[in-house]
Chains A and B, each alone.
Chain A
Amino acid sequence: MDASVILFYVISVLLVLSSLMVVFLRNVVHCALALVVALFLIAILFVMLHAPMVGVLQVLVYAGAIMVLFLFVIMFLNPTASEPRRKLWWGFGSAAALLLAASLAALLSNGEAPADPVTATETFGSPETLAKSLFTDFVLPFEITSVLLLVAIIGAVVLAKREP
């Protein structure tokens, strides 16, 4: 077996484990940090697929920025370490998980490989390729992103600066 295949399996197993920890750990801060680990492992998978730019952005934006925000909010609210489980959330979560499992099972039972597989080459996920497709094929989504960010800015300020 190829070394990169072994590495893929090792990282996948760790990824599944850390994702399970996100769900099952009782302390919210521990859950958030398990999520950091999971996001970091996903970044490694991206890099292995010759998409280093996406991998680094995954670390920079998700593991770095978004998780810092999550941790700030968790520490701000300071929840007690072990909150009683809520039946409603468990029902909702299980239903969503079942739905996902069903759709995945349907896909897998088809037995078909995904249409038009692309062979990853060195330039496949390079910054240049990514930039080219971002600024030519995906101009409109890119511009809409700025509106989305504007809405997020205004939303954050309105929520945080609300008069008591």
Chain B
Amino acid sequence: MQAYIDQLIRDGYFAGMPKEVVYAVAMVLAAFIVLSVFVAPLAGVTSWLERRVWARMQSRVGPNRVGPQGILQWLADGIKNLLKEDLIPSAADAKLFSLAPYVVFVGFLCAFVVIPFGSQLIVADLNIGILYILAVTSLVVVGILMAGWSSNNKWSLLGGMRSAAQIVSYEIPAGLSILTIVFLAGTMSMQGIIKAQGWAPWDWFLFNNPFTFAAFFLYFTAALAEGNRTPFDIPEAESELVAGYVTEYSGMRFLFFFFAEWGNLYVIGAVATTLFLGGWQVPPVTSDPILLGVLQFVVFFLKAYLWVFIAMWVRATLPRVRVDQLMALCWKYMVPLSFLCLLGTICWMLVFPKGNQIFSVAMFVLGLLIVAYFFKRVVFQIRHARPELYFKPHI
């Protein structure tokens, strides 16, 4: 990013302007573009797509009125929320109550700084990138506790406490499974991790050894739990806690919490793609930098969005777990398992210091077989479903 601006300055654009001003203006512009052109529609369209996907999976239609196929539904929802009354309960702690959405939203948005969409498309390639993402995620917990406590409502408080306990618990297995990749790559920089992989699937860290393969699923599960997604959405379990820590919120403040939730879904996918799935790596098909950049962005975006889709699928499929099950799953299964994955990866690195290509290819083939079997089952189920439940994309 900086190199690109330097290039522009050298080429004679912005003559007569101090360098700092150009930098500052460019940064503000870039940040604003990231925010309004990318993050907002991304979270919005994800919310629409999620509702459509669930509807399909539950043999309903889903929102299809605003825009073609209802794709502008998120915009309508946003405007509706903007026009709603901003209620602050009389017994609430007004200052903290109005401040909590800021903390949650800023904490989530700042994760986008280090997400590498391409070899040049990154706001800032920090040398502590992945640790930075963990740090800003932990800030979200403070925001959720603020919201829960300040609402002065029993549901909010319980929801906030549960959510905070859940997020912090699952941060341990998430951190440990991310660590396996840091061991393999030897760096925490997001670009560095991607560059340590290759475009071919057998060069991805996912298929590097059986332990990273397991660590990927541990990471994805832990990340879903950290994002308060079903089957781990007990903090906002409608049947027992109304809406958890957002019970008392309305209008725009309510929207910001859900904006963060849906946007966070993409961050989960992007981090998984960066760490395990080779990020933006594409085969060397072209030398044109712009075309290459577009190709990298498309590859990265699709890989990341695949996991967003799988998260929706999981949400439509699995029932909610109980609190005790949730905590037992984290502390008794995922923490020891992710720790084993870590030790296994270390042993693997000692035995095969340069990696084992044959094994990686074998793992890749095995992965393909699993996916193929899974699809076979899906096709079987659809064939045996009633005809009126068939997928009809035109409705």
Q: Do chains A and B touch in the complex (CB under 8 A)?
A: yes
Among the 9-residue stretches A51-59, A82-90, A141-149, the one with 4 or more Cβ atoms under 8 Å from chain B is: A51-59
- Chain B residues within an 8 Å CB radius of A75: 145, 149, 157, 161
In Å, the complex CA distance between A65 and B138 comes to: 7
Q: Are A126 and B168 in contact (CB under 8 A)?
A: no
Partner of B131, one of A27, A60, A63: A60
Q: Are A127 and B188 in contact (CB under 8 A)?
A: yes
Within 8 A of B (CB), among A109-126: 126
Within 8 A of A (CB), among B92-128: 93, 95-96, 126-128
At the interface, yes or no: A42 with Cβ under 8 Å from chain B? no
Chain A interface residue count, Cβ-Cβ cutoff 8 angstroms: 23
Given contacts A68-B164, A68-B168, A75-B161, contact A36 B136 (CB under 8 A): no
CB-nearest residue of chain A to B141: A68
In Å, the complex CA distance between A56 and B145 comes to: 21
Q: Are A56 and B142 in contact (CB under 8 A)?
A: no
- Chain B residues within an 8 Å CB radius of A30: 95-96
In Å, the complex CA distance between A36 and B131 comes to: 19
Partner of A72, one of B96, B135, B164: B164
Q: Are B168 and A65 in contact (CB under 8 A)?
A: yes
In Å, the complex CA distance between A64 and B138 comes to: 5
- Chain B residues within an 8 Å CB radius of A59: 135-136, 138-139
Given contacts A52-B127, A75-B149, A126-B127, contact A63 B138 (CB under 8 A): yes
At the interface, yes or no: B271 with Cβ under 8 Å from chain A? no
Of B131, B145, B149, B150, chain A has the most CB atoms within 10 Å of the CB of B145
- Chain B residues within an 8 Å CB radius of A158: none
CB-nearest residue of chain B to A126: B127
- Chain B residues within an 8 Å CB radius of A64: 135, 138-139, 141-142
Partner of B20, one of A3, A56, A127: A3
Q: Are B138 and A52 in contact (CB under 8 A)?
A: no
At the interface, yes or no: A67 with Cβ under 8 Å from chain B? yes
In Å, the complex CA distance between A14 and B93 comes to: 23
Question: Smallest Cβ distance from B103 to chain A, in angstroms?
Answer: 9
At the interface, yes or no: B222 with Cβ under 8 Å from chain A? no
- Chain B residues within an 8 Å CB radius of A60: 131, 134-135, 138
- Chain A residues within an 8 Å CB radius of B138: 59-60, 63-65, 68
- Chain B residues within an 8 Å CB radius of A33: 96, 142, 146
- Chain B residues within an 8 Å CB radius of A45: none
CB-nearest residue of chain B to A27: B93
Within 8 A of A (CB), among B63-96: 93, 95-96
Q: Which residues in B have some Cβ–Cβ distance to A below 8 Å?
A: 20, 93, 95-96, 126-128, 131-132, 134-136, 138-139, 141-142, 145-146, 149-150, 157, 161, 164, 168, 188
| Additional A-B contacts beyond A29-B96, A30-B96, A68-B138 (8; CB < 8 A) | A3-B20, A53-B131, A57-B131, A59-B135, A64-B141, A65-B138, A65-B168, A127-B127
15 contacts between A and B (CB under 8 A): A29-B150, A33-B146, A53-B128, A56-B128, A56-B131, A59-B138, A63-B139, A64-B135, A64-B138, A68-B141, A68-B145, A71-B145, A71-B149, A75-B145, A75-B161
